[in-house]
Structure 1
C-alpha cells in the first residue's frame, strides 16, 4: 500500500523537463527543488513527506530540506496529514553541495563490514562535468565514474569496517551543483 502511495506521489510530483535519477531519494530531492523554484507548494509538501517517508535525513551540518519545504508549504496554506511509513532506523543521509570550476571535495565516511555500502550523486542543473571516486584507507580506488545523466552510483560490500574517501570533482569550466546520498 505504501509503495503504491509513494509511487503515485513521485509520478505526480515529477518535473516537466529533464531526466530524473533512478534512486528515490535523489529523485525526491530533484523534484522538491523544482517545486520550490516553481512555487508549487502542494508538490513541495509532497516531496517533503516522501523524503521523510524514505527515511532520508541531512548529513551533519546540512540543512533539513524536508523541514524547510514543509514550513514553506504550510506558510502558503498547504497542509496534509503525514504519510505513515516504517523503514530503516538510520536511513540514507543526503548532502547538497557545489564546486567551483576545477574544484574537488573529499569526505570521509565509515562503512561497516558485511553491510552493503552505496554512494549516489546526481547533478543539480547543468553540472555535466562532475565525477565521483571512492577510495579505501590504503588509497586503492573502488569506484571512479563520471556523473553523467540523472545519477551515478558506487556500491560495494566492505570486508572490514573502515573509513573510505568519497571524492567529487568538477572538471568543468563553471560551478557545478550536486546532491550526494550515502547509504
Structure 2
C-alpha cells in the first residue's frame, strides 16, 4: 500500500514535459494547426495574426497559412485584436511538408555570407521519426541530427554566399508531416 502511495506521489511530482517547439514561428504553426483541427476560430485568428506579426512568410510554392487561417476564422465570426510586436524587417520563411515512410526531401536555400543561418524543424505528430541534414555546396555536412522532441535546430555562419541543401528524411514506417522554418 505504501509503495503504491509513494509511486502515485512521485508521478504527481514529476515535471510536465512540454512537447511544443521553442521557436515562436514553429510554436505558432503548431497551435494554428491544432486550432484549425479543433474548429476553434478565435485561437485560429490569433495564430494567424501572430504568424503575420512574427514576419513569417510561406516559402515559395507554399500556402500562406496566415491568410488561410484568417479567412477560415472570419468565416466563423472571429475577429482577433491587433498584436503589438516589432520583429525583424525580413522575417523567417516557413514550409509545411509531409513525407511517406522512408521518404526524403531536399530543398536548396540561399544563405548570405557573414550572416547567421538557422533552420528549425518540428514534427507535426508525436510519432514521427524524422531527421534533418544541412550540406554545403561541396556536399559536406554542416549539421545532422534527429528531429526528436519538440524541434531540431541547425545554425551556422556561411563564409560565402551560397546555396545549401536542407535534407529532411522520414525513417519511420508511417507517413510524417513537419514544419521547416528558415531564418
TM-score of the pair, normalised by structure 1: 0.88
Take 2:63 and 2:103, find their aligned partners in 1: how far apart are those partners?
A: 22
List structure 1 runs of 4+ shifted beyond 4 angstroms: none
How many aligned residue pairs are there? 167
Q: CA deviation at 1:18?
A: 6.0
DSSP 3-state at the match of 2:131: strand
Q: CA deviation at 1:82?
A: 2.8
Structure 2: gaps (5+ residues): 1-16
Q: CA deviation at 1:27?
A: 0.2
Take 1:105 and 1:114, find their aligned partners in 2: how far apart are those partners?
A: 27
Match of 2:131? 131
Match of 2:104? 104
Pair 1:30 & 2:38 matched = no
Match of 2:64? 64
RMSD (Å) for aligned C-alpha atoms: 1.3
Match of 1:169? 169
Take 1:99 and 1:58, find their aligned partners in 2: how far apart are those partners?
A: 19
Q: CA deviation at 1:128?
A: 2.7
| Larger radius of gyration between Structure 1 and Structure 2 | 2
Structure 1: gaps (5+ residues): 1-16
Q: CA deviation at 1:61?
A: 0.5
TM-score of the pair, normalised by structure 2: 0.88
